[in-house]
Every structure is written in C-alpha cells, then in structure tokens.
Amino acid sequence: MTASPDTPLLYVLTEDLQLRGPRFGCGLAQCGSCSVLADGVEIRSCITPVAAVAGKSLTTLEGLAAWYAENKKLAQAPALHPLQQAFLDEQPLHCGYCYNGMTIKGAELLANNPNPSEAEIRKAMNGHICRCGTYPRVAQGNTARLARRCRRDAMSELDASFSRRDLLKSGGAMIIGLSMTGALSARAAAFAAPGNVAGPPEPSAVDTWIAVHADNTATIFFGKCELAWRA
Amino acid sequence: MLEAAAHAAGWTARPSASHLSDAEIVTGRGIAVGTHHVSYGAAVAEVEVNRRTGEIVAKHLYGALDCGLAVNPSLVENQIVGMMVQATSRMLKEEVTFDQKGVTSTDWVSYPVLRFAEHPA
C-alpha cells in the first residue's frame, strides 16, 4: 500500500490495513482512543502523519501480546497481553471505546514500571479519557492485579477460563461474553466443554456459542451485545 | 439506601458546621438519596477544598444502589462506580459554554471532563 506522507497514521491503520484496535475518537489527540506504540512509546495516531513514523517499529493493540513476549524474551507469545487478559477477567469496562488507549498506555507503563503505585498509575493514565467512569476500577483493581501478573513470565489461557467459570459457578449467573473474534473465539470454544456446546462447531464459522454447564448455568458468546433495561 | 451508604462510609452523626477549620485545605462531607425509574440510590461524598485557590477534590465516594435482581453483580458495581465518577465530573467540571454565535464547547479541552488523575477513590 502507499500513502501520502501527511496522511494521518490512524487512517492508514484503520482503513488501509483494516485494523480494529486503534479507534478514531476526538481526532485532536485529546482522548487517547487512537493510541499506538512507536518504538515502545505511546503516541496519538490521529494527528501523527505517517511520515513521522518512518523507520519506527509500530505496535497496535493487535500486536501487543507479541510485543510483550519480545520484551520479556518469551519463547512463545501469549494469546493476549496480561493487561488485556486482566481487563477480560475483571470486566471493568462499560462501552469499551477507551479500551484500546487504556490498554496501550497501561502496557507502556507496565513495561517501564512493573509495579506502579496508584499515584504513578493516575499520572501515567491521565491523558486517556473515559466517559463511562471506569477510572477507579481500571486503576485500582485491575492495574494492581495485572501488575502482579506481569511479574510472571507467561500467562496461560486457562487462567481466564477458570476465572470466568469460577465467577459463573459462584454467582450462578449468566455471563455474556463480548467481542469474541479471532483468537478469542478459539479460546471461547476451547473452554466450552465438548458435549455442552450448542452452536456452530467451527470456531471460525459464526461468532456464536452457547454452553450450558452441568450446574445449569450458561455461557453465551457472541460478537456484539447491547444491554438494556426498561421499566 | 441512605443507611447502606452511610454504613459504607463509616458515617457518624454530628451537628452541622461543627467541623470548621482555618486551614488552607479543609474537608467536608455530604450525603444524598435519589431515585431513577424504580431504583433507589444513595451516596456519600468526602471532599477537600483549597480555600485559597478554590480547588475542590472529591477524595472518596461511597455508593449504594437498590437495583432489583443483580444478574451480574460486577456489572452493577461498574454502574455504581461509573455514575459516581460521572456525577463528580458534572459537579466539578462540565459546563457547556456559549458565545453570541453559538456553542463554544467543541472538544475535550473546551468541554473538560473528569480525568484519570482526578477520580475519587
């Protein structure tokens, strides 16, 4: 592909390369939803002309796990960066629009400071706006938790499965999984036990699964969901 | 709900204006209850005020919500936390501004919202 030197990096990433990690938010470098890493440093791709990143190594949300593995010198990259995994496990997000930037910036922070204090987290993340009000849970619960996790060398996918299943069993509730595509779909299929799966057998076929567990709880996975309530 | 929020915050009764101070940074607290559709919610806020600069910091918020059946308690907690952060943002920062031609709040600089470093714990 080719692009004129002044094309915003975000346009090249989302339109030419069809990536879905970085997002157009304000277009003014004020909100952080378009963040990517350039040579490991978080930048706002919406106002960065492609010419400005010539020769630099770019990492988007899609490549964050591989970037993490490279930094940690792991033989094999985990399916997800530990911060992505922590966000999935803990579900601090609401609409998810800030998720890309929160994850990119959090990964940058943890790469430089594996055990940040709350003050360090607040300072580092201050350029990322969340309109849903998820700051406390992103900062306190998850970043502390993920900081602990990042000190481990490898993340096993089973961690996520156990966490969600434990939540299901203890709460007896129906959990609705969000955005299960690509590698996530394969994982979702893997932890819905054989015989319990009602739905497409091929992970890549349709993005929908329903697993009814032995204790009569159910897990439903689908690509998008809208939660609503009316009196 | 008032009792639940008060309990969470460790609220103890005291006469109004019995906690006055001449310090540069003073602290105060508030409690409120409200309804939305059929839900009841209550919150306690602990705030700091810099008497010299006028800066207000929401240090801690405690919330209680009677939402009915909580199918996913974690999501309900998300909503409680989210509404306390949004309420803090509205009270302390958000204001649509105008000039004679129209709205001048056009981005996150001219329409500031609560930022990460400012969120109540």
| pLDDT tens for each residue of A15-72 | 999 999 999 999 999 999 999 999 999 999 999 999 999 999 999 999 999 999 999 9
pLDDT at position A12 over 70: yes
Q: Report the chain B residue with the minimal C-alpha distance to residue A29.
A: B108
Question: How far away is chain B from the Cα of A100, in angstroms, using its nearest Cα?
Answer: 15
Residue A131 near chain B (CB below 8 Å): yes
Residue A126 near chain B (CB below 8 Å): yes
Helix axis angle, A99-112 to A82-90, nearest 10°: 130
What does B44-95 look like in DSSP terms, one character per residue? EEEEEEETTT--EEEEEEEEEEE-SS-SSHHHHHHHHHHHHHHHHHHHHT--
Predicted interface score ipTM higher than 0.95 = no
pLDDT at position A201 over 60: no
| Contact call for A133 and B85, based on CB within 8 A | yes
Residue A31 near chain B (CB below 8 Å): yes
Question: How far away is chain B from the Cα of A9, in angstroms, using its nearest Cα?
Answer: 21
Q: Quick: pLDDT tens for B6-53.
A: 999 999 998 888 878 999 999 999 999 999 888 899 999 999 999 999
B49 closest CA partner among B5, B14, B13, B92: B92
pLDDT of residue A167: 40
CA distance readout (Å), A199 to A73, A191, A192, B5 = 38, 14, 11, 44
Q: Give percent above pLDDT 90 in chain A.
A: 48
CA distance readout (Å), A3 to A13, A29, A46, A48, B31 = 11, 21, 15, 13, 57
| Contact call for A30 and B38, based on CB within 8 A | no
| Contact call for B119 and A136, based on CB within 8 A | yes
Q: Report the chain A residue with the minimal C-alpha distance to residue B86.
A: A133
Q: Is the pTM of this model over 0.90?
A: no
Among A140-144, B67-71, B95-99, which is the least confidently predicted range?
A140-144
pLDDT at position A90 over 70: yes
Mean pLDDT of B46-63: 95
Average pLDDT over all residues of chain A: 74
Question: How far away is chain B from the Cα of A207, in angstroms, using its nearest Cα?
Answer: 22
Q: Residue A167 corresponds to which tokens in the numbers above? A: 């939540």
In sequence order, the β-bridge partners of residue A177 are A221
Q: How confident is the model at residue A164 (pLDDT cuts 50, 70, 90)?
A: very low
Residue B120 near chain A (CB below 8 Å): yes
Residue A95 near chain B (CB below 8 Å): no
Per-residue DSSP letter, A137:
I
pLDDT at position A177 over 70: no
Q: Quick: pLDDT tens for A109-147.
A: 999 988 888 888 899 999 999 999 999 888 765 555 554
Nearest CB to B108; choose among A26, A90, A173: A26
B60 closest CA partner among B38, B34, B33, B28: B28
Chain B residues with beta carbon closer than 8 angstroms to that of A134: 78, 81-82, 85
pLDDT of residue A36: 98
A·B CB contacts under 8 A: 80
Number of H helices, E strands in chain B: 2, 3
pLDDT at position A188 over 90: no
Looking from the CA of B28 toward its CB, the CA atoms found within 13 Å total: 16
**How many other C-beta atoms can be found within 10 angstroms of the C-beta atom of residue A90?**
17
Q: Report the chain B residue with the minimal C-alpha distance to residue A31.
A: B108
Q: Which of A44, A130, A229 would best serve as a mutation to test chain B binding (most B beta carbons within 10 A)?
A: A130
Question: Cα separation of A34 and B23, whole Å?
Answer: 43
Q: How confident is the model at residue A214 (pLDDT cuts 50, 70, 90)?
A: low
pLDDT of residue A117: 84
Strands annotated E in A104-150: none
pLDDT of residue A225: 46
Mean pLDDT of B44-68: 94
Question: How far away is chain B from the Cα of A222, in angstroms, using its nearest Cα?
Answer: 17
Residue A175 near chain B (CB below 8 Å): yes
* Those residues with Cβ within 8 angstroms of residue A15's Cβ, 6 or more apart along the chain or in another chain: none
Chain A residues with beta carbon closer than 8 angstroms to that of B72: 171, 173-176
pLDDT of residue B29: 93
